[in-house]
A and B are shown apart, each in its own frame.
Chain A
Amino acid sequence: MLDIEHVTKRFGKHTAVENLTFGVRPGVVTGFLGPNGAGKSTTMRIAVGLTRPDAGKILINGRPYEKLAAPLNEVGVLLDARAVHPRRSAYQHLAVLATTHGIPLRRVDEVLGLVGLSEVAGRRPGGFSLGMSQRLGIAGALLGDPGIVILDEPVNGLDPEGIRWVRRLLRGLAAEGRTVFLSSHLMSEMALTADRLVIIGRGRLVADVTTAELTAQHRPALRVRTPKAVDLLALVPGAADPADAQLVTITDRSAEAVAELAARHQIPLYELTPVRQSLEDAYLELTHDDVEYTLEGSTSR
């Protein structure tokens, strides 16, 4: 259980996180979504004590991270997969971490096997691909068999097979009753992995919903062109396009149902196009006002 309570963090004049409050529950995968620079990494760094908030606090099972007697056994963290010494072997990197807690070294072999790095255990991470580094970072996060896992962009740099592997792993961890909290700027990835989505933009909470709720809110729609737009809208729920009298958007009906209904009422249809508003669209709509850069902005520079 992870409680983010009224957290604010400023870097100079820039407010990275503003009065952010939400909880991350065990047993489900919680996705932390937002555009680049939205404050996801800052929030995660505050959770594990690397960054001090200006106001508010983040509690791990009711206690601040600094007060944990065995942090690695309670929280597994992957923040920056490249932040390891490039010339200390993967095995020894994990062994150093394990030693701080008295975790037996056979656990190092176990997690290396779990992430599929056993064969390169003796090699230096400086020569690793980003995908291998991510695996090493995940191994480090799992070292203490923690009840909470916090991962910042864990699928970054992984190949499709690796992404599926991470997805299965995280769902497995959640199924075991652990708290799984991972960030991403990719909605498409989160939709497949997360049960719950916490969406932020410019450091503020935009939405805190289940993936199912978000999907339900943004059902597919139909784009219909007809000379009898008013007649059609009397029969089905929808909206007329303010700019084009012939264009209507119909919701909550299948294309077949609308076509048959129109035929029965002798309404000619020039166009009938299913418009899938994806989760990606829903996400972009939610965070549209919060992206730090826009196309207009880039031309004025």
Chain B
Amino acid sequence: MTTTGLTLPRIVSAEQRRLRTLRSTWWFATSAAVLTVAIGVFPAIGVAAGALPADLENVGPLGGALTGLSITELIVAAFAVLAVTAEPAAATFTAVPRRASVVVARATATGAAVLALSLALTFGTFAAAHLLLSSAGVDLPLTAGVARSLSGAAVYLSFVAVLGVAAGWLLRGAVAAIAAVLSVFYLLPVVGLLLPDAIAEAVLPWLPSNAAAALRDPAPTLEMLTPWIALTVLAAYAVGAVLLASAAVRRRDV
């Protein structure tokens, strides 16, 4: 018999159980799935129904599969923030007094769950769009760039989840934390535009929102980071956010 005691894999496994044993998790997953697919197949339906011309001119190389992404992003942000703010901390930290392990484990469990669902959703929506378009005689090929784009969108959603978990720990209130996560993607780019051109050109591509765009855009522009650098940048932001949250959680009273 193995001895009982705290290990990081066990803590991660407990965090996964924590997620799957709440009905709200499955409601989040269901609503993310329904909205992502329903909005994502809309352009392809337009082509299949003859409302749009029968080519990829209007729907793009992804067949419009990522149209619903900004809605998915909101659902993911809310889910990840609530995974922290709705859980009473005292019981968690008496079982696992190594608080940083809890922060890391919850970010891992939440990020991994979102990544798995998102991959299924982006590729699933693309497959649905592919079927719809082929019914209209339009071929929607799964090129390497398209595959990278669909995976990149899933990675991006997973990144939103990790930021949401970190913001939940840092700010403790659900509303403040969700607002903070959305600010990173909607407010920071706007602030960036106010910078002088020379500085903006150097800074803007490195913002989380633009790094994410570089990952999920099927045809990245020249001023964007290359996908691998963008992936590294997002990973660095995620690690930084989790470290910051760990430091804050370790320092304060529960």
Contacts and interface: CB of A to CB of B under 8 A. Distances in A.
A96 B14 CA distance: 5
B31 interface: no
Interface in A48-85: 48-52, 65-66, 68-73, 77, 79-80, 83-85
Interface string B68-101: 0000000000000000001110110111111000
Contacts of B221: none
Q: How many of chain A's residues touch chain B, expressed as a range?
A: 35 or more
Nearest to A99: B14
A52 B22 CA distance: 31
Contact of B4 (A50, A70, A88, A95): A70
A83 B91 CA distance: 7
Contacts of B18: 88, 96
Nearest to A143: B95
B182 interface: no
Given A84-B88, A85-B88, A101-B5, A71 B21 contact: no
Contacts of B23: 87
Interface residues of B, number: 29
B253 interface: yes
Given A79-B94, A96-B17, 19 more contacts: A50-B90, A52-B253, A65-B97, A66-B97, A69-B5, A71-B6, A73-B4, A84-B91, A85-B88, A87-B23, A88-B18, A88-B22, A95-B21, A96-B18, A97-B95, A99-B10, A100-B11, A100-B14, A101-B6
Residue among B4, B6, B94 with the most chain A CB within 10 A? B94
A97 B21 contact: no
B24 interface: yes
B88 A92 contact: no
Contact of A140 (B10, B91, B97): B91
8 contacts: A50-B253, A70-B6, A84-B88, A96-B17, A99-B13, A99-B17, A102-B10, A144-B4
A272 interface: no
Interface string B234-250: 00000000000000000
Contacts of B6: 69-71, 100-101
A251 interface: no
A77 B254 CA distance: 15
Contacts of B94: 48-50, 71, 77, 79
A52 B99 CA distance: 13
B22 A87 contact: yes
A101 B22 CA distance: 21
Interface string A93-133: 10111011111000000000000000000000000000000
A89 interface: yes
A73 B253 CA distance: 23
Interface of B: 2-7, 10-11, 13-14, 17-18, 21-24, 86-88, 90-91, 93-98, 253-254
A51 B253 contact: yes
Contacts of B7: 102
B253 to A, nearest CB: 5
The 4 closest A-B pairs by CB, nearest first: A70-B5, A99-B14, A92-B21, A83-B88
B95 A72 contact: yes
Interface string A265-291: 000000000000000000000000000
B21 A66 contact: no
A87 B2 CA distance: 32
Contacts of A103: 4
Contacts of B10: 99-102
A102 B5 contact: yes
Nearest to A89: B21
A52 B249 CA distance: 12
Contacts of B88: 80, 83-85
Nearest to A49: B97
Residue among A51, A95, A102 with the most chain B CB within 10 A? A102
Residue among A79, A85, A92 with the most chain B CB within 10 A? A85
A85 B253 contact: no
A39 to B, nearest CB: 14
A181 to B, nearest CB: 14
B98 A66 contact: yes
A50 B21 contact: no
A9 to B, nearest CB: 9
A244 B7 CA distance: 72
Interface in A212-265: none
Contacts of A48: 94, 97
Contacts of B87: 85
Contact of B22 (A66, A84, A85, A140): A85
